[in-house]
Amino acid sequence: MSVEVSDVNTEQWRDRKRHLWLMGLIAPTALFVMLPLIWALNQAGWHTLAQVPLWIGPGLLYVLLPILDLKFGPDGENPPEEMMEQLANDKYYRYCTYVYIPFQYASVILGAYLFTAKDLSWLGFDGGLAWWAKLGVALSVGVLGGVGINTAHEMGHKKENLERWLAKITLAQTFYGHFYIEHNRGHHVRVATPEDPASARFGENFWEFLPRTVWGALKSSVELEAQRIRRLGRSPWDPRTYLKNDVLNAWLMSVVFFGILIAVFGPALIPFVLIQGIYGFSLLESVNYL
């Protein structure tokens, strides 16, 4: 049954925050935006200060966003029911999630380069970055992964195959491709029950919750996908099913992508890969904990 949108509602109601959806590109472009500032600080002779902007990711997450929350407060406005079908068919909102992905991976590659480069003279540095600046780069890239999981969450709920594959591509940065399975077919079925690894238990602190939810989500996703394959009359242990296994093919994306980066930038990139990945999915789990 289709929903008819009246001309009155179409004329009277507008998404006043429509242009603000593009703010989602702030995180995946932040490292690139910081490069001119870093160069300028180095030219001014402030070489230590020039490395501080590489912490832009945590700065956005823990400073800018709370300030914006305090300034604007809660937003209780919802579109009228009559507008929902029109908004759902407006491709602008989908494109806002699609465009996140190329900027996300461009920033991962830039971060990998900055983390391992021994000569950054073009930015005004004498050699490479200090260890604490490298940590800032890894955490800033990790923020992209954490925000990217939210992007993947939206696309993973769609029915179109393109958006579901884009969800897995987005999740590859954090090695969390199995979230695509566990969230949709596990969490939504068992939410707020003892069987749901993504729901915190009463009295459980975050550091108790984190390892339990990470392992529980991984285990659950493997079991759920194995059940799906068995319903198709196949064995999940049959190598011919591996590429059609949505957990394994999602993990394969991570292995291939970071395998190529490590081949290009060397083993020195391994700490970067681990830090950004763990930090990225921990941001998701901190939201689940709350």
Q: What is the pLDDT of residues 95-125, one digit of tens each?
A: 888 999 999 999 999 999 999 999 999 999 9
Question: Does the pLDDT value for residue 204 go beyond 70?
Answer: yes
What lies within 8 Å, CB to CB, of 215 at 6+ separation is 197
Closest to 142 in 3D by CA, of 282, 287, 279: 279
**pLDDT confidence bin for 196, thresholds 50/70/90:** confident
pLDDT score recorded for residue 244: 86
pLDDT of 10: 56
Residue pLDDT, tens place only, 148-181: 888 887 787 777 788 888 999 999 999 998 888 8
Largest CA distance in the chain: 67
Distance CA 73, CA 280 (A): 26
Per-residue pLDDT at 11? 59
Weakest mean pLDDT among 41-55, 64-78, 116-130:
64-78
Q: Is the pLDDT of residue 126 over 70?
A: yes
Letter string b/e over residues 89-105, b meaning 16 or more CB atoms within 10 A of that residue's CB: eeeeebebbeebbebbb
Q: Residue 183 — pLDDT band, cuts 50, 70, 90?
A: confident
pLDDT of residue 46: 96
Read off the pTM.
Answer: 0.89
Residue-wise over 118-145: b if at least 16 C-beta within 10 A, else e?
A: eebeebbbeebbeeebbbbbbbbbbbbb
Q: Residue range 36-46: average pLDDT?
A: 96
Least confident of 34-38, 66-70, 89-93, 105-109: 89-93
Per-residue pLDDT at 9: 52
pLDDT of residue 18: 83
| Banded model confidence at residue 4, pLDDT cuts 50, 70, 90 | very low
Q: Which of 91 and 117 is assigned the larger pLDDT? A: 117
Per-residue model confidence (pLDDT) at position 91: 84
Per-residue pLDDT, averaged over 272-284, amounts to 96
